[in-house]
Structure 1
Amino acid sequence: MTKSTYPTVTGVILAGGEARRMGGNDKGLINFVHQPLIAHVINHIAPQVEKLLINANRNIERYQQFGYSVISDSLSGFQGPLAGMLAGMQAATTDYILTVPCDSPAPSPKLRQRMLETLLRTGNKVAVATDGKRIQPVFALLDCELAEDLQKYLASGERKIDRWFAQQAMVEVDFSDQSDSFTNFNHPEDVRFPALQSSVPLLGIAAFSGTGKTTLLTQLIPKLRSAGLRLAVIKHAHHLFDIDQPGKDSYRIREAGANQVIVASRRLLALMQTSDVEQSEPLLSDCLTRLNLHELDLILVEGFKQESIPKLELHRASVGKPLLFPEDPNIIAIATDSDLLVKPKMPVLNLNDLDSILDFINNFIRQYHHD
């Protein structure tokens, strides 16, 4: 194949596995946050590639309903990711294929850009993502000219993906700043309560409406900054909102149909991104990929109550709501303005004593890194 002046890429979502650890259930079709796992992957990968293919070996009609061509392995019997990669190369009409698994719902929005830039700079044929600790072999950008070599490798009876990679001109691409984008689901309980891993301490603020979450944050943030901590706040909104005002240029551009708008000045950069899938709730992992984690010591999270991250519960007796901790195993401490009838086996802080909450957060950060 003659390379295009501008390299083209076909995305290949690998959904052809047997999913034995998932009890045999087809991973890509398991619901997560109101839609199948593969729908999340499509939303992240489709904007990054010229074409998109789904590699599946069962439930073909179900996968076709997502609106993209479905390809099956040429080898029978669930032969592993290399068989799906080969099927992708053989079906693609582009220079490269970008492969991602169907069970990682939030691949990096920079996956294609960073991988392709690395291949073009180095002249290699295979780019494989690394989270900073180990390679993530199914997150790969492959030159389609390798199809014949891969076919011979599989015909010899080999199936090991790392062994084939080692035979190629391979380069690792660093995504240690977005390690959460590789979070995947292997067991049924993972989908119900996915544990989100982060190199930066994540602390959720959990409370009923009216408890004063935002008020507490605005009081805590100056103290945390004074203590030398670099921090970010991620807030979940339950309704439509705008950070820009109607009539402003950025608002008019977005309303005209732009899916992403960046407004930049000397002191401020803001990204506004719209989604065509209105019923899809945002994932915390999606938000994390947009942060520069290397410049942070702490991320405070307001909302995202379904996410499995450590949380500090705020409780005011005057709100008249029950405690959350009996139903949420991720709550690690409670800040309250009243005596609790039930004595929890966790720290109980004075909600009106900011210094005690600050001490708790500092200890939490130290313990987070120690663990």
Structure 2
Amino acid sequence: MSELNKYAEKVTAVILAGGMARRMGGMDKGWVELSGKPLISHVLETIRPQVGRCLINANRSMDAYSALGMPIVSDLEGDFQGPLMGMATGLHHAPTDWVMFVPCDTPSLPDDLVNRMLKMAEASGAEIAVANDGNRMQSVVALMRRELLSSLQTALKEGERKVDRWYGQHKVVEVDFSDKPDAFVNVNSRDELAELQQMPALLGFVAWSGTGKTTLFRKLIPLLKEQGVRVGVIKHAHHKFDIDHPGKDSYELRKSGADQMLISSHTRWALMVEEDQGDYPSFARMLSRMDHSTLDLVLVEGFKREAIPKIELHRTVLEKDLIHPTDDSVIAIAADRPLALQREIPQLDINDETAVLQFVLDYLAEQQR
């Protein structure tokens, strides 16, 4: 048995992908695309050969993560309690004495990470080994003993959420990776992602059916185009749909069994993909299919669960509950009359597309600073 395999069998890797990613605008970071593939795929390709088993800790986009072929484990307790809860979940499910934790947004991890971490941990008698890039400790790139689960669960019950403070209760060794300082560059925000690739601003519009989301889009998009804004749109359909027609060659070829069908003319092309995404498609995966370099702004219709910035549309005649009290991602509301709101956010006139346009332009300018 090679040295790599000897160490691999002792370790389960847990990829932490269960956070809310607020600094990324609420996007599921695992499915943010870099160099043609999602961040989670970069991490898997590096970490999977180094360990005997691999788990993914995720709390959304479950069908998408399941398609990767790795076991998915959701937080033992909900409400997005942070990386310590993800670690507790990993320790709970791991079958090995050692568990290696890595974040889903670190695409350039060392290919000898686990080997070096475990060697140092065993040589020092440490309970936790944490990577150090030569400048600082990388707190969530950590190898720890599974037997620490009880200690971690106790800390969580007492309200502890700081990784470093919990580490302070145990014997920790830092593992020097100063020879690979760029290996731990992660993508915590859209600014950091923009350094690696171009990324358009995102703005969602949420409302009850019948409020007029599409009607507003049809008015707003031409106005944005007049201002020189390059606009993309992602729409969540709650029903089956078809963009082709029976009798057309492309329709018949797709129905004959083609998994992907791309049709192109001199002015337009469309890619149709047959793929079961479960009850809720992954927004980040859909976003990654767009050519970000050609867009300034992506308007999103639907996808209420995503924690991206949103404008709520509301018409009192529908007698529906407001959405913003239960969604902190709503940054403004456009309604047909002034409303008494539970928190202070800008109010717009839903029938005044010029006012909505100005709000969107101001938002876009802020995102592009």
TM-score interval, smaller chain: 0.5 to 0.7
Deviation at 1:265, TM superposition (A): 1.1
Summarize the Cα distance change of 1:241–1:161 in structure 2 as closer, same or farther, 3 Å threshold: farther
Indicate whether 1:218 and 2:245 are aligned: no
User: Could you tell me which residue of structure 1 aligns to residue 119 of structure 2?
Assistant: 157
User: Could you tell me which residue of structure 2 aligns to residue 362 of structure 1?
Assistant: 361
User: Could you tell me which residue of structure 1 aligns to residue 66 of structure 2?
Assistant: 39
Matches within 5 A, 1:27-66: 28=56, 30-33=58-61, 35=63, 38-42=65-69
CA distance in 1, matches of 2:101, 2:351: 56
Summarize the Cα distance change of 1:330–1:198 in structure 2 as closer, same or farther, 3 Å threshold: farther
Percent identity of paired positions between Structure 1 and Structure 2: 35
Q: Is the 8 A contact 1:16 1:57 kept in 2?
A: no
For CA contacts below 8 A with separation 6 or more, give which structure has more relative contact order. 2
Q: Is the 8 A contact 2:334 2:350 kept in 1?
A: yes
Deviation at 1:164, TM superposition (A): 7.8
Q: Is the 8 A contact 1:17 1:57 kept in 2?
A: no
CA distance in 1, matches of 2:57, 2:107: 22
Deviation at 1:343, TM superposition (A): 6.6
User: Could you tell me which residue of structure 2 aligns to residue 238 of structure 1?
Assistant: 238
Summarize the Cα distance change of 1:347–1:268 in structure 2 as closer, same or farther, 3 Å threshold: same
Summarize the Cα distance change of 1:79–1:357 in structure 2 as closer, same or farther, 3 Å threshold: closer
Aligned partner of 1:77 among 90, 98, 104 = 98
Summarize the Cα distance change of 1:365–1:137 in structure 2 as closer, same or farther, 3 Å threshold: same
CA offsets 1:160-208 (integer angstroms, 9 cap, x no match): 69888968xx9x9xxx99x87xxxxxxxxxxxxxxxx983210001110
Q: 1:289 corresponds to which letter in structure 2? A: S
Structure 1: tracts of 5 or more residues without a match: 1-14, 44-55, 61-71, 82-100, 105-134, 143-149, 181-196
User: Could you tell me which residue of structure 2 aligns to residue 52 of structure 1?
Assistant: none
CA offsets 1:298-340 (integer angstroms, 9 cap, x no match): 1100000000000011111122212111111110011111131
- Match of 1:334, SS state, is strand
User: Could you tell me which residue of structure 1 aligns to residue 336 of structure 2?
Assistant: 337
Deviation at 1:237, TM superposition (A): 0.4
Structure 2: tracts of 5 or more residues without a match: 1-10, 20-53, 71-89, 122-130, 134-175
User: Could you tell me which residue of structure 1 aligns to residue 12 of structure 2?
Assistant: 16
- Match of 1:364, SS state, is helix
Q: 1:322 corresponds to which letter in structure 2? A: D
Q: 1:242 corresponds to which letter in structure 2? A: D
Q: 1:39 corresponds to which letter in structure 2? A: S
- Match of 1:318, SS state, is helix
Indicate whether 1:268 and 2:295 are aligned: no
User: Could you tell me which residue of structure 2 aligns to residue 184 of structure 1?
Assistant: none
User: Could you tell me which residue of structure 1 aligns to residue 302 of structure 2?
Assistant: 303
Matches within 5 A, 1:308-319: 308-319=307-318
CA distance in 2, matches of 1:296, 1:226: 15
Q: Is the 8 A contact 1:313 1:324 kept in 2?
A: yes
* Corresponding pairs, count: 249
Summarize the Cα distance change of 1:227–1:39 in structure 2 as closer, same or farther, 3 Å threshold: same
Q: CA RMSD in A?
A: 4.3
CA distance in 2, matches of 1:346, 1:204: 15
